[in-house]
């Protein structure tokens, strides 16, 4: 950022790929499971990084995820921190922020919440990218709010038939209505679907002590020695 006597200039990274939602639309709402897993892994790593600084994004959705380029395997970037908030380890918030289809039940019920609201939003995003539809949907806003709070997602729909069991398991743990029982971001990054069942990688992550070490291992898709061989 710099300024002169008339203007303030903000120079930001150019993300030529556009929003993830547009990318998904261009693919006719169909992505291979491996691509969804890659995107989910990157989002989860971003959320872990934010949590290490006490930051809750509070508006995590495909519109706020950008593609770095138009390449098929483009990296993603989490943007728009206008509703984000620093929430300490023992703090809770009651602010009714977020976008309704991606908002956690505790936000809708105006109950105290913490960083786990981003975990719920991650679950909705993965569900959407895997199936092409949202876990809770209605043209009537009040009906939509009721579904988010009371109704369970439909995992028996045809769109789930070709989805792997580990993917279904993770989404169910992400979309747990009770925030106290919802999976933690560290557990997401150690989950079999994200690690592809790679025991060596999971062990590396569990042995990491500092946030920096954890972030570095959580960013990997394979252990360092396997990355070097490829």
Q: Which residues are identified as catalytic?
A: 59
Closest by Cα among 133, 165, 129 to 37: 129
Token pair, residue 35, equals 């691509």
Q: How many CA atoms lie within 13 A of 90 on its CB side?
A: 0
Beta bridge partners of 86: 55
Q: At what angle do helices 211-219 and 33-52 cross, to 10 degrees?
A: 170
Closest by Cα among 198, 200, 148, 197 to 176: 148
Angle at the Cα of 139 from the Cα atoms of 138 and 145, rounded to 5 degrees: 50
Q: What are phi and psi of 86, to 5 degrees?
A: -80, 120
Q: What are phi and psi of 100, to 5 degrees?
A: -45, -50
Phi-psi category of 110—alpha, beta or left, where left has phi over 0 and alpha has psi -120 to 50? Answer: left
For residue 5, the tally of other CB atoms under 10 A from its CB is 4
Segment (H or E) for 189: helix 185-189
Beta bridge partners of 78: 65
């Amino acid at each position: 950022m710099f300024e002169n006597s008339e203007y303030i200039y903000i120079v930001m990274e150019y993300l030529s790929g556009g929003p993830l939602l547009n990318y998904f639309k261009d693919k006719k709402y169909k992505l291979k499971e491996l691509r969804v897993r890659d995107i989910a892994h990157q989002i989860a790593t971003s959320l872990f990084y934010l949590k290490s600084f006490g930051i809750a994004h509070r508006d995590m959705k495909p519109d706020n995820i950008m593609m770095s380029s138009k390449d098929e395997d483009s990296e993603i970037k989490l943007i728009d921190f206008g509703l984000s908030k620093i929430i300490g380890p023992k703090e809770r918030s009651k602010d009714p922020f977020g976008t309704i289809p991606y908002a956690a039940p505790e936000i809708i019920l105006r109950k105290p919440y913490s960083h786990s609201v981003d975990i719920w939003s991650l679950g909705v995003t993965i569900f959407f990218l895997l199936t092409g539809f949202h876990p809770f949907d209605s043209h009537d806003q009040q009906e939509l709010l009721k579904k988010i709070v009371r109704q369970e997602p439909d995992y028996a729909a045809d769109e789930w038939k070709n989805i792997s069991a580990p993917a279904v398991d993770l989404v169910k743990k992400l979309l747990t209505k009770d925030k106290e029982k919802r999976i933690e971001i560290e557990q997401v990054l150690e989950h079999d679907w994200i690690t592809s069942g790679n025991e060596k990688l999971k062990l590396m992550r569990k042995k990491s002590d500092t946030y920096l070490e954890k972030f570095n291992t959580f960013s990997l898709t394979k252990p360092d020695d396997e990355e070097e061989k490829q």
